[in-house]
Amino acid sequence: MSMNGADLIVDTLIKNGVKYVFQLPGGKLGPLLMALKKREKEIEVVTVRHEQNAGFMAQGIGRITGRPGVVMTTSGPGALNLVTPLATAISDGDPVLAISGQVPQAKLLTPYPQNPNISGVMNDSTVTKYAKEIEDTGALADEVANAYITSINGNPGAVFMDVPGNVLLTETEKEGLEFTAIADQLANTISDEKTISDTVGKIKQAKRPVIIVGARAMDESAAKAIQAFVRKTGIPVVETFEATGLLTHEFNENYVGRVGLFNNLPGDELVYNSDLVITLGLNLVEYWASVWNSDKKTVVDIDIVVDHLDETFIPDTLVLGNIAKNLKNITKTISSDSLHPLEIVSSLQKVIDKHPDTTVVMDGGSHEVWMGSYLNVYRPKHFLMSDGQQTLGVGLPWAISAAFLRPNEKILSSGGDESFMFSSQELATVAHYKLNIVQVIWVDKEYNMVEFQQELDYQGQEEGVDIDYIGYKEMAESYGIKASRVHSKEALDAALIEAYRTTEPMVIEVIEDNKQNIHLRDKDELKKY
Reported as a pLDDT band with limits 50, 70 and 90, residue 336 is: low
Judge contact between 341 and 370, C-beta under 8 A.
Answer: yes
Cβ-proximal residues to 252 (8 Å cutoff; 6+ apart), any chain: none
* CA nearest neighbour of 255 among 263, 243, 264: 243
**Which pLDDT tens digit goes with each residue over 290-326?**
999 999 999 999 999 888 888 899 999 999 999 999 9
Judge contact between 159 and 133, C-beta under 8 A.
Answer: no
**Which pLDDT tens digit goes with each residue over 355-402?**
999 999 999 888 888 888 889 999 999 999 887 787 899 999 999 999
**Which pLDDT tens digit goes with each residue over 447-478?**
766 677 777 778 778 788 788 888 999 999 99
Of 514 and 214, which is predicted with more confidence? 214
Reported as a pLDDT band with limits 50, 70 and 90, residue 110 is: low
Reported as a pLDDT band with limits 50, 70 and 90, residue 140 is: very high
Reported as a pLDDT band with limits 50, 70 and 90, residue 519 is: low
Reported as a pLDDT band with limits 50, 70 and 90, residue 515 is: confident
3-state secondary structure of 303: strand
Distance CA 320, CA 301 (A): 8
How much is the pTM? 0.61
What is the predicted pLDDT for the residue at 526? Answer: 43
Distance CA 450, CA 442 (A): 16
* CA nearest neighbour of 313 among 331, 333, 296: 296
Mean per-residue pLDDT over the chain, rounded: 91
Interhelix angle for 5-15 vs 30-38, to 10°? 50
- Count CB-CB contacts under 10 A for residue 490: 13
Of 12 and 521, which is predicted with more confidence? 12
**Which pLDDT tens digit goes with each residue over 253-298?**
899 999 998 899 999 999 999 999 999 999 999 999 999 999 999 9
Is the pLDDT reported for residue 214 higher than 50? yes
Of 347 and 464, which is predicted with more confidence? 347
Reported as a pLDDT band with limits 50, 70 and 90, residue 529 is: very low
Is the pLDDT reported for residue 527 higher than 50? no
Degrees, nearest 5: CA angle 398-377-392? 30
Is the pLDDT reported for residue 113 higher than 70? no
Which of 76-80, 160-164, 244-248, 428-432 has the weakest average pLDDT? 244-248
The size of the chain, in residues, is: 529
What is the predicted pLDDT for the residue at 162? Answer: 95
User: Quick one: which H or E segment has residue 56?
Assistant: helix 51-65
